[in-house]
Chain A
Amino acid sequence: MAIVTYRDALNQALREEMHKDDRVFLMGEEVAVYNGAYKVSKGLLEEFGEMRVVDTPITELGFAGVGVGAAMVGLRPIIEFMTWNFALLAIDQIVNAAAKMLYMSGGQYNMPIVFRGPNGAALQLSAQHSQAWESWFAHIPGLKVVAPGTPYDAKGLLKSAIRDDNPVIFLEGEMLYNTKGEVPEEEYVVPIGKADLKREGGHCSIITSGKMVLTAMQAADLLAKEGIKVDVVDLRTIRPMDVEAITTSVKKTNRAVVLEEGWEICGIGAQVVDYIQRDCFDYLDAPVIRVHQADVPMPYAKALEKAAKPDVPKTIAAVKKVMYIEA
Chain B
Amino acid sequence: MAAKKKPDVKSNAALNTELLHAMLLQRRFEEKVAEAYALGKIGGFCHLYIGQEAVGTGVMSMLRPDDYVVTTYRDHGQALARGMTPRSVMAELFGRADGCSGGKGGSMHLFDRNLNFLGGHGIVGGHVPLATGVGFAIKYRGGDQCIVCFMGEAAVNNGAFHESLNMAGLWKLPVIYVIENNKYGMGTAESRASSIQHMYKRGDTYSIANAEVDGQDVFAVRDALADAIERARTNYESTLLEIRTYRFMGHSMSDAVSGTYRTKAELEEYMKRDPITLLKNKMNAAGELNDARLADMEKEIAAVVQDAWDFADASPEPPPGALYEDVLVETTSDSPVRV
Contacts and interface: CB of A to CB of B under 8 A. Distances in A.
Contacts of A67: 133
Contacts of B131: 69
A103 B326 CA distance: 5
Contacts, number: 158
A19 B136 CA distance: 20
Interface of A: 20-23, 25, 51, 56-57, 59, 61-75, 77, 92-93, 96-97, 101-110, 141-142, 144, 163-166
A193 B224 CA distance: 51
Nearest to A93: B129
Contacts of A166: 328-329, 331
A104 B167 contact: no
Given A70-B133, A106-B326, A108-B113, A22 B101 contact: no
B302 interface: no
Contact of A96 (B123, B329, B330): B123
Interface string B86-107: 0000000000000111111100
A104 B101 contact: yes
Interface string B110-152: 0111001011011100111111111111111000000000000
The 10 closest A-B pairs by CB, nearest first: A65-B129, A69-B133, A62-B163, A106-B102, A69-B130, A106-B101, A66-B133, A105-B111, A22-B339, A107-B326
B104 A70 contact: no
B118 A72 contact: yes
Contacts of B339: 22-23
Contacts of B287: none
Nearest to A110: B329
7 contacts: A57-B166, A66-B136, A69-B130, A75-B140, A97-B121, A103-B104, A108-B101
A109 B104 contact: no
A102 B133 contact: no
Contact of B332 (A103, A107, A165): A165
B160 interface: yes
Contacts of B70: 69
Interface in B60-81: 68, 70
B126 to A, nearest CB: 5
B140 A25 contact: yes
Contacts of A61: 129, 159-160, 163
